[in-house]
Amino acid sequence: SQTIHQWPATLVQPVGSPLSLECTVEGTSNPNLYWYRQAAGRGLQLLFYSVGIGQISSEVPQNLSASRPQDRQFILSSKKLLLSDSGFYLCAWRGLAGYTGELFFGEGSRLTVL
Amino acid sequence: AQSVSQHNHHVILSEAASLELGCNYSYGGTVNLFWYVQYPGQHLQLLLKYFSGDPLVKGIKGFEAEFIKSKFSFNLRKPSVQWSDTAEYFCAVIRRSGAGSYQLTFGKGTKLSVIP
C-alpha cells in the first residue's frame, strides 16, 4: 500500500534562517506531488506541484521553492525565512494509473518562524 | 478562475442534530468533487467523492453529499452528528485544465464543533 511521510513534524526557526521540509512517498511510482499551506480560516493554498523529476510548477510567488530530485521525493525550501512563512505545510500525492483525482495527504509540518 | 465557496466558517451543533455544510463551485464544465475531513491532530483524509452517475454519494461514517449540477453545489449532509464528527471539513473540485493536466481547488474549510 502507498504511504506518505513528511518531516520534520514541527520546526521552530529564526527569521532569515534556511528551511528544508521533506516529503517521500512509498508504494507508488511517478506520482503527482503537491505542497500546500494550511492557514486557519483560509483553507488550503497550493504552493507547488510536480508531475515528474525536476518538474516544478509554482502557484503563487513567494519566499519558498520546491525541488523533486527523485521520483518519490519532494522538498520545500527557503534560503531565508520570513515571519509570514509560519504555517502548517502539507505534502500530498495523487497517482496517475487509474486516475481518481483523490489526493493523499501527509501528516503535515508545522513551521514557526520567530 | 475556478473557485470553491464554503459558506460557513464555523458550525456548532448538539449531538444528534442534523448537519448540512454548503459547497459551491464556479466552474461550468465537467468536474469531480470531493469532501475531505481533518480530525483534530490528524491528517486530511477523503470523506467522499463524486465522479459521475448517481448524484447522491455515500461516504464514510454516515456522511453523504448531493451533487446538484444546476446549482453548482455539492453539499455535505449527515442526519445525526456525533461528538466524534468534530473536525474541519474541506470541499474540493478538480477539473481538466489542459491536455493531461488538472486543476484542483479547495474551499476555505468549515470547522464543525459538536457539543455532547
Q: Is B17 exposed, middle or buried (0-12, 13-18, 19+ CB in 10 A)?
A: middle
Residue with cell 475531505: B36
The residue among B53, B87, B91 whose CA lies nearest residue B72 is: B91
Q: How far apart are CA B77 and CA B55, in angstroms?
A: 13
Q: For residue A37, what is its C-alpha cell?
A: 499551506
Please give the mean pLDDT across all residues of chain A: 88
- B22-37 average pLDDT score: 89
Chain B partners within 8 Å of A44 (Cβ): 90, 106, 109
Cβ within 8 Å, pair A43-B45: no
- B73-87 average pLDDT score: 97
- A4-30 average pLDDT score: 92
B44 → closest Cβ in A46, A51, A105: A105
Cβ within 8 Å, pair B109-A105: no
Cβ within 8 Å, pair A108-B102: no
pLDDT tens figures, A20-74? 999 999 988 888 899 999 876 677 888 998 988 999 988 876 789 999 999 999 9
Question: A61 at the B interface (CB within 8 A)?
Answer: no
- B20-44 average pLDDT score: 89
DSSP bridge partners of B101: B98
Cβ within 8 Å, pair B106-A108: no
Q: How far apart are CA A55 and CA B63, in angstroms?
A: 37
A42 → closest Cβ in B44, B104, B108: B108
